Amino acid sequence: MAKDNNIQGQNDQTLSAIVRRQFNKNRPAVWSLRVLIVIFIIGFTADFVANERPYYAQINGKSYFPLLKGYGVDLGVAQWPSELSNVKWSELNYEKVVWAPVPYSTTTVDLKNNDYASPFGQQNVPSARWKHWLGTDNLGRDVLSGMIHGTTVAMMVGVVSMSVALLLGLFFGALAGYYGDNKMKMTRLTLILNILILPLAFFYAFGVRSYTLTDSLGTSIFAFLGQLLLSLAILSAIIAIPNLLDRFFKKLPYLGAEISVPVDIIISRLIEILESIPSLLLLLSIVAIIDKPSLMIVMVIIGFTRWTGIARYLRGELLKVRSLEYVEAAQALGYPEWRIILRHTLPNALTSVLISVSFGIASAILLESSLSFLGIGVPPEQVTWGSMLSLARGVPQAWWIAIFPGFAIFVTVTIFNLIGDGLTDALDPRLKQ
Amino acid sequence: MFVYVLKRLLFFIPTLLIISVLTFALSKMAPGDPVRLALGNQDQGETNGGSSDKMAGEKAYLDMSEQLGLNLPSFYFQLSNAATPDTLYRFIKKPERDNLERLISMYGNWPQIADYYASIKRTEYAMLDVKQDSTTYTSGKTVKEDCAKLYLDYKDRNISAIIDEMVAASASSPLMSTVHSEAVKMQTAYNAMKSQATPAKNWIPQLKWYGTDNQYHRWLSHFLVLDFGISYIDKRPIWSKISEAMPWTLLLNLISIILSYIIAIPLGIWSARKKGSWADRFVTVILFILYSLPVFWVATLLITFVTTPEYGMDLFPTFGLGEVNDTMGLGEVFAERASHFILPVFCLTYGSLAYLSRQMRGGVLSVLRQDYIRTARAKGLADGKVVWKHAFRNSLIPIITIFASLLPSAISGAFIIEIIFSIPGMGKVAFMSLGARDYPMVFTVMMLSAFLTLVGTLISDILYAVVDPRISFDK
């Protein structure tokens, strides 16, 4: 059966199959992908790998599942029984207990091993089970636990910021690449109305609703997303008005003449302008205006500064694809433009956008760790690789804090770079057989 | 060519304008009170003197805001709603103005809101003139605190409770009779504001035109004649702070860029010529690792291991640029500076070096595949001649384009390096001013870095044409 698949795979000449075959020949890239899967698993299960609360505990004949229960308490649907609220988990008298592999959370302060306990030095722990394998920091927090939970943060940064960047990048890239400079046509009057109505649309979508939006951010992220969607709906509804009326304007004398909008020029200039601002400085000054530091906001802002690369890439690919025969064929068949963009041109250009996503994740993780290294934008209680690394400054004896978190950043960034390289090579038409 | 350069230079103008509007908007959104920062952060909320002292404090505040130009509208125009008065910018204290905006969004009747606001002011001043004694101490304190709260509250429930409390507290002593009557008036004003609400006015858009006498225009017109204003923190002209910091950043970047090109070009050619050999593979792997090493990690490691006696390798100084005085000779000054520069320059160089040589190797390889190289080889030319005479110039094209993208990342990289190694360059200065919310400074650094980046892009485009005669910008 497996053999059959293999033969079928060899004959498969779709673009994605060819790319996959080429990619699989690139050993470093394939290995990176495997390591990445491991890192992702660690990131997803961090709470279960490193946690101060035991999986299972039996105290005075009663059984508890503190680790799972912790989620319920955090969500507000459960409460700690009185004998377990505000306890030091490691100091309870258990009859039976099953600990997580690393029995420390990021916030667990081990007072017996504070002030930088070295991984190789004498540690004040009851048994090897409780050893701090990668040492502790000044407060006695376990470095290994921080590393594991930092993985979750890094993965989230990569995924969230690149999703934001992808959304923006695909939107602008597709607009610029598909329409170019002479394909978006509208009557003069529509263009004028569009320019006039745009501020008005923003006024009704965001200006009037600004307090509703900011207040909902205080309640919950879902309430905010709901309000945001509503705002976007208002925005697009208002913008749609003149464009729907376009066909009626055509009969007008001067104002009804069709002109083309230079979409490509406008978007390319926008990208050029954004790219001429040093991203770290831009990021720093945006983050500085936020009252309450939050990882989520940092991730979204990183996404907002990183979309230009994707847009540029996609634009280039689309400009190339646009003049190919199958697009002309689709146009000749009378398909609407959105269908040609979404169904025909995007899928072909997307494979190459993967390259820039891969490199983009690397740089997003790097940017976030630079920020938390500088102690900006991320709340102080949030443990990230960058914030751990920053603890090493000025404490030369704690080499383990200087080495391990930085190494984690390095490995993750390298992996994404290698995957990006692998994709670049796999998509290179010169290497295709 | 000339026309092309001119066109590009003209394109600088809108770009820089947009960046300036962006930075300006960011600085306007930033929390914190620049006037108070410039006044040295003294707290004016708690004055124990009479109303005249308070007025003097307010006057100083107004004077400073006038000096900083913050009493002007922010921009040429503003799209807001019919409920908001076009003079709202005159309320300079941002938290109070924000609260007024909030009230406007709730009630939409500016005359009544203004009445209410004025009545808080009157109550506050009336309270300041009350003679302090045992009967007025507690209730007076309550009234003062309540006034401060009212300036910043918009929730109906809170406000009603606070006003009730004030009316009750001020009734307790005969000395506070004026305060009491003002508090009662305030209650009436507040109720009038609530009952005569016209929130629908918030839905009518209105364009407010302020003309050229605004903060942005003033800042920009000064900026264009290189008058960058003064720093909020130490009142020094920004120009002098920048001109002290800029040379270090430029020097750092210049050395690092030159070094990386000098090393990367031969290295790339060498490893392309040895393609596939173990030496090439080794170099490629090393370069790849260097490329992925986060610069702040390397800097932290270097500081940890080679600048302290902890591991027996106290080879370099840790921070700063070293002490230089007049008695030292040129050689000594150079040695002192160089020892401080080695680590930062190394950190700044290795990444771009690795990137450049990878590109150079790729460039050479793709040129060596060309037909004319095969022809040259077929003619029997020596390998060195083929590479240096035929392939070299063409393989430079990719790494020259990179120069443009190298510059912004070099500036960003230099920022972190300067902060870690405590070098008083632009990055360090910008970082410090961001922390202190000294926005005129941040502004200037941002504009200058954007300008440098644009210039870098232009230079690389011109070099492009110089290296490759096939490329011509004249049509």
Residue type, B305: F
Question: What six digits make up the tokens of A345?
Answer: 């041109």
pLDDT of residue A103: 86
Average pLDDT, chain A: 84
Give the neighbor-by-neighbor strand order of the sheet with A96-98: A62-64, A56-59, A96-98
Domain spans of chain B, in order of start: 32-224, 238-467
Per DSSP, the residues of B385-407 read HIIIIIIHHHHHHHHHHHHHHHH
* Closest-approach residue (CA) in chain A for B427: A281
Q: Give the confidence band of A262 by pLDDT, cuts at 50, 70, 90.
A: confident
Maximum distance among all Cα pairs of chain B, rounded to whole angstroms: 113
pLDDT of residue A1: 41
Per-residue pLDDT, averaged over A47-72, amounts to: 85
Q: How far is CA A293 from CA A288, A405, B176, B265, in A?
A: 9, 22, 44, 44
Question: Does residue A272 belong to the interface with chain B, where contact is any CB pair within 8 Å?
Answer: yes
Q: SS3 of A1, please?
A: coil
* Closest-approach residue (CA) in chain B for A367: B294
A304 has pLDDT over 50: yes
Q: In this complex, do B297 and A366 lie within 8 Å of one another by their Cβ atoms? A: no
Task: Tell me the per-residue pLDDT of A339-386, one tens digit each, with 9 for 90 and over.
Answer: 887 888 777 777 778 888 998 999 899 989 988 998 887 888 888 999
H-run or E-run covering A184: strand A184-187
Task: State the smallest CA–CA distance between residue B307 and chain A in angstroms.
Answer: 9
Q: Give the confidence band of A285 by pLDDT, cuts at 50, 70, 90.
A: confident
* Closest-approach residue (CA) in chain A for B404: A276
Question: Does residue A8 belong to the interface with chain B, where contact is any CB pair within 8 Å?
Answer: no
Question: DSSP code of A253?
Answer: S
Q: In this complex, do B454 and A280 lie within 8 Å of one another by their Cβ atoms? A: no
pLDDT of residue A2: 44
Q: SS3 of A197, please?
A: helix
Per-residue pLDDT, averaged over A290-311, amounts to: 86
Q: How far is CA B207 from CA B8, B99, B114, in A?
A: 34, 22, 21
Q: For residue B239, how far is the Cα from the chain centroid?
A: 16
Contacts of B446 in chain A (CB under 8 A): 277-278, 281-282, 285
Rounded Cα–Cα distance for residues B304 and A144 (Å): 20
Rounded Cα–Cα distance for residues A195 and A54 (Å): 61
Rounded Cα–Cα distance for residues A287 and A305 (Å): 12
Question: What six digits make up the tokens of B244?
Answer: 């002290």
The owner of tokens 């299972």 is A56
pLDDT of residue B408: 67
Q: Give the confidence band of A331 by pLDDT, cuts at 50, 70, 90.
A: confident
Nearest to B18 among A273, A289, A418 (CB): A273
Rounded Cα–Cα distance for residues A206 and A217 (Å): 14
pLDDT of residue A230: 93
Q: CA nearest B416: which of B430, B403, B435, B402?
A: B430
The pairing of strands A56-59 and A96-98 is antiparallel
Scanning A186-245 for CB atoms below 8 A from B yields: 199-200, 203-204, 207-208, 210-211
Gyration radius (Cα) of chain B, Å = 32
* Closest-approach residue (CA) in chain B for A398: B304
Q: State the helix-helix crossing angle for B426-435 and B238-273, rounded to 10 degrees.
A: 130
Q: Report whether B81 contacts B204 (CB < 8 A).
A: yes
The one-digit pLDDT tens for each residue of chain B (475 residues) are 778 888 888 888 888 888 888 888 887 777 777 787 777 765 544 445 667 777 788 888 888 888 878 888 888 888 888 888 888 888 888 888 888 888 888 888 888 888 898 888 888 888 888 877 777 788 888 888 888 888 888 888 888 888 888 888 888 778 888 888 888 888 888 888 888 888 888 888 888 888 888 888 988 888 888 888 888 777 788 888 888 888 888 888 889 989 999 999 999 999 988 888 899 889 988 988 888 899 999 999 988 888 877 777 777 777 777 666 777 777 887 787 888 888 899 999 998 899 889 889 888 888 888 898 899 889 988 888 888 888 888 888 778 777 766 776 777 778 888 888 888 888 888 888 887 878 788 878 888 888 877 887 788 777 777 777 676 665 4
Per-residue pLDDT, averaged over A254-264, amounts to: 84
> Which of B297, B355, B418 would best serve as a mutation to test chain A binding (most A beta carbons within 10 A)?
B297
Looking at the DSSP bridge assignments, the partners of residue A56 are A98
Q: Give the CA angle between residues A67, A69, A72 to the nearest 5°.
A: 125
Q: In this complex, do A399 and B415 lie within 8 Å of one another by their Cβ atoms? A: no
Contacts of B434 in chain A (CB under 8 A): 284-285, 288, 376
Residue type, A298: V
Contacts of B407 in chain A (CB under 8 A): none
Nearest to B300 among A211, A406, A418 (CB): A406
Q: Report whether B32 contacts B437 (CB < 8 A).
A: yes
Scanning A290-329 for CB atoms below 8 A from B yields: 291
Q: Report whether B292 contacts A406 (CB < 8 A).
A: no
Rounded Cα–Cα distance for residues B8 and A25 (Å): 44
CA torsion A329-A331-A335-A336 (nearest 10°) is 150
A431 has pLDDT over 70: no
Q: b/e per residue, B306-333, with b = 16+ CB within 10 A?
A: ebbeeeeeeebbbeebeeeeeeeeeeee
Q: Which CATH architecture best describes the domain B238-467?
A: Orthogonal Bundle (1.10)
> Which of A32, A202, A289, A419 would best serve as a mutation to test chain B binding (most B beta carbons within 10 A)?
A289
Contacts of B454 in chain A (CB under 8 A): 276
Beta-carbon pairs below 8 A across chains A and B = 137
Percentage of chain A exceeding pLDDT 90: 20
Task: State the smallest CA–CA distance between residue A197 and chain B in angstroms.
Answer: 12
Q: Give the confidence band of A235 by pLDDT, cuts at 50, 70, 90.
A: very high
Task: State the smallest CA–CA distance between residue B108 and chain A in angstroms.
Answer: 12
Question: What six digits make up the tokens of A87?
Answer: 């306890």
A78 has pLDDT over 90: no
Residue type, B14: P
Q: Report whether A143 contacts A114 (CB < 8 A).
A: no
Q: CA nearest A141: which of A411, A380, A378?
A: A380
Q: In this complex, do A393 and B300 lie within 8 Å of one another by their Cβ atoms? A: yes
**Residues, chain B:** 475
Looking at the DSSP bridge assignments, the partners of residue A102 are A50
The owner of tokens 């629908």 is B200
* Closest-approach residue (CA) in chain B for A410: B293
Question: Does residue A274 belong to the interface with chain B, where contact is any CB pair within 8 Å?
Answer: no
Count Cβ atoms within 10 A of the Cβ of residue A430 and give its class: 0-12 exposed, 13-18 middle, 19 or more buried: exposed
Looking from the CA of A66 toward its CB, the CA atoms found within 13 Å total 28
Task: State the smallest CA–CA distance between residue B25 and chain A in angstroms.
Answer: 10
pLDDT of residue A237: 93
Q: In this complex, do B26 and A392 lie within 8 Å of one another by their Cβ atoms? A: no
* Closest-approach residue (CA) in chain A for B203: A208
Q: CA nearest B229: which of B92, B69, B75?
A: B69
Question: What six digits make up the tokens of A258?
Answer: 């069709």
Q: Which domains does chain A have, with CATH numbers?
A: 18-51+139-184+262-433 (1.10.3720.10), 52-99 (no CATH), 185-260 (no CATH)
* Closest-approach residue (CA) in chain A for B101: A211
The owner of tokens 């680590």 is B343
Helix %, strand %, coil % of chain A (to 5) = 70, 5, 25
Question: Does residue A265 belong to the interface with chain B, where contact is any CB pair within 8 Å?
Answer: no
pLDDT of residue A3: 45
pLDDT of residue A327: 83
pLDDT of residue A158: 93
DSSP alpha helices (H): ranges in A276-345?
A: 279-288, 295-322, 325-332, 337-339
Q: In this complex, do A402 and B300 lie within 8 Å of one another by their Cβ atoms? A: yes
The owner of tokens 């006695």 is A140
Contacts of A135 in chain B (CB under 8 A): none
